[in-house]
Amino acid sequence: MREQEIQPDFDAPTQGGAHDAAPTGGAHAQEPEAAPTGGRTIQEDLEHAMRGWGADRRAILGRLQSATAQEKAEVRGNAQLMGRLRRELGERNFQTALSLLGATQGGQQQGGQQQGGQQPQGRTRSGAVSGQSAQIIAQRAQWDQTIMTSRDGEQVRDAFARYWNVQLSDNAQNSNWSVSLLRSTHEALKALPDQDTRAGVWRRLNLIDGGGGSWAAGQGQFNLGADAEGRRAQYGNRRVDWLAAVVRHEIGHAVDTALGGVRAFKQNVGGWNTAGTLNDTRSIDTWANQMGNGWTGRGGSPSSQERAQIKEHIKNFFAAFRGNIGASGRPLETGTQADHPIRRYLNAGVPVIDVAKACAAAGPQFYADSNARRVVNGKIYSINPYYGRLQSCNAAVGQTILRNYQLFSEAEFFAEVYTVFYEGYDPQSGGQPGRHVPVPEWRNWLLQNVHNRGGAPDRATERGQTNPSVGIHAGQDGAPS
Ligand SMILES: [Zn+2]
C-alpha cells in the first residue's frame, strides 16, 4: 500500500509537544495483573472469565490448565459450573476443558503433536479442539504469567516473544528492553482483540529511541520508542496512557495492512483524496481542479505562465520539508524576488496559494495548526510537507478531533480512530468497544468492518486449526524463529 510504502519509519511524532504527551513526572506505576489464582477460588476465576458479553475461552482454558488436582475435582464436581462452562465454551472448547480437567479420554491427545507440526484440517471433526491448540493455550497462560511476574529480563523477553510470536529487537542507542516496558506493552496488547494483534501481520517489535512509534508494513515491524513509557497524552478531554495509545495506534496500522488498506474507511467515510505529490507539478493542477476552481481568487487568477512559476516555487519550497518532521514552518514567499508571481497573488484569495501558504507557515506540524485547515467547497485541503503530498479530506474529519494527528494523512486518520475505538476496551469482559468515538459513522464502520469481521486467530482456535495461514501464527506459536 502506498501509504505504508512511503512511510517506512515515521509516525506519531512525540517530541515537540504536537501530541500533548508529557511525562507524568512520577514512576510508571504498573499494577501487576492478578495472577490466575490471586486469592480467589477457581470458581470465581472461571466466573470472572465468563462474565459479560462473551466468554474469554483462552482465560478459561488457561485457568483450567493451571488448576491443581483439587481445583479440578472441585470444578468437575460442580454440575452447575460445568453446565455453564459447556454453554459458554461451546462443544468443541468444552471438550478441551474436559480433557484439561482429566474428565475425558480426550486427554490422550495432549502431547500427541509437537509444536510447529502440521495438522491436517478436519482431524478434529469429532469436536475436540486439538491437543496442540490446548497446549498452545496453556503455554500462553504460562508465558503470560512469566511476563507479568518474573524479574528476569531475559526470561520476560523470551516469554514475550513466544506469547506474541514476534521477534524482539533493539535499535535504541539510549535504552534497552526493560521488564517494566515489556510488561506494560504486553498489557496494552492484551487489551486489543487477538484477531488484530495475532493475525501474523505484526512480526517484529523493535525498540527505538524517543517516545513515539512507527509501523513498517513491509517488514511487519512495530517500532516502539522507549520513552513512551510512563507518559500520558491528551485524547479529547481524556488523559490517556501514552504507551498504550502508541500500541493501539501501531496495531491499528497493522490492521490497516492486514485488511488491504481500509480504502472504504479512508475514502468513503473520511473523504480522503490525494492529487499526488509535488514530485510532479502537474499534481497541483489536478488538486486545483479537485477544489473546483483552485486557481481563481477574489483578487485575480494567475496566467498560465505565472502558474508555472508558482508551481515550480511550491515544489521547491516544500522539498526542504520532505522527510523532516522537526523542521519549522516559514513564509511561502521565502527566497523569492519581489516580482515573483507568488508574491503578487499571495493575498488574492487563490485557493491553491492560500492552502500552500497556510501549510508552509505551519510546516510539518500543519496537522496541529487550526490555521492550516483550509476548507474549500466542504473539504479540508492541505499539503503534507513530510510527504510533499497534496491531499484533502472531509471537513468533518477536522470538526471532531480525537487527536490532531488524525489530520496528518488518511493512514493516520484510520490509526487514530482505531486507537480511540479500543480505548478502555477489555477483551476479557467483552462488551462493545468504541464508546470514546463520538462520530457514529466512524464508530459503526469500525464495529462492522474491524471488530466484528470474524478475524482469524480466535476462529482458528475454535476449529482446532493451528496452521492456517490466517490462524494461530502458522503453527509456530511456541517457536518464534
Ligand atoms: Zn501512525
159-177 residue pLDDT tens: 999 999 999 999 999 999 9
Domains in the chain, CATH or no CATH each: 43-115+123-139 (no CATH), 150-272+409-481 (3.40.390), 274-408 (no CATH)
Tens-digit pLDDT profile for residues 56-89: 787 888 888 888 877 887 787 666 677 778 778 8
Distance 268 CA to ligand 1 centre (A): 20
Q: What is the mean pLDDT of residues 374-382?
A: 96
Q: What is the mean pLDDT of residues 458-480?
A: 31
| Ligand 1 center–CA 105 separation, angstroms | 50
CA–centroid distance, 281 to ligand 1, in Å, is 27
How many whole angstroms from 215 Cα to the centroid of ligand 1?
7
Which comes out higher in pLDDT, residue 33 or 57? 57
pLDDT beyond 80 at 132: no
| 135 Cα to the center of ligand 1, angstroms | 35
* Best CA proximity match to 177, nearest among 157, 147, 150: 157
CB 195 within 8 A of CB 458: yes
CA of 13 to the centre of ligand 1 (A): 9
Checking if the pLDDT of 400 tops 80, the result is yes
Residue 250's pLDDT is what?
Answer: 97
For residue 252, CA distances in Å to 25, 125, 386, 443, 449 come to: 28, 35, 21, 14, 13
CA of residue 249 to ligand 1 center, whole Å: 6
Task: Pinpoint the alpha helices (H) of 128-275.
Answer: 131-149, 153-164, 179-190, 194-197, 242-258, 263
Q: Kindly give the distance from the C-alpha atom of residue 243 to the centroid of ligand 1, in angstroms, as a whole number.
A: 13
Instruction: Find the 225 Cα to ligand 1 centroid distance in Å.
Output: 13
Write the CB contacts of 61 (distance below 8 Å, at least 6 apart in sequence). Answer: 89, 93, 96, 97, 100, 134, 137, 138, 141
Q: Examine the pLDDT at 262 and tell me if it is beyond 90.
A: yes
Question: What's the CA-to-centroid distance between 183 and ligand 1, angstroms?
Answer: 22
**Tens digits of residue pLDDT in 206-224:** 999 999 999 999 999 999 9
The identity of residue 231, as a single letter, is: R
Structure confidence at residue 60 (pLDDT): 85
pLDDT at position 128, please? 53
Place of cell 482469524: 456
Is the pLDDT confidence value at 440 over 80? yes
> Would you call 375 helix, strand, or coil by DSSP?
strand
* 263 CA from centroid of ligand 1 (Å): 16
| Residue in 85, 107, 87 with CA at minimum distance from that of residue 96 | 107
Side chain identity at residue 437, one-letter code:
V
Cα 407 to ligand 1 centre (Å): 11
pLDDT at residue 184 above 70? yes
How large is the average pLDDT for residues 441-449?
A: 96
Distance 400 CA to ligand 1 centre (A): 18
Residue 1: pLDDT above 50? Answer: no
Cα of 176 from ligand 1 centre, angstroms: 23
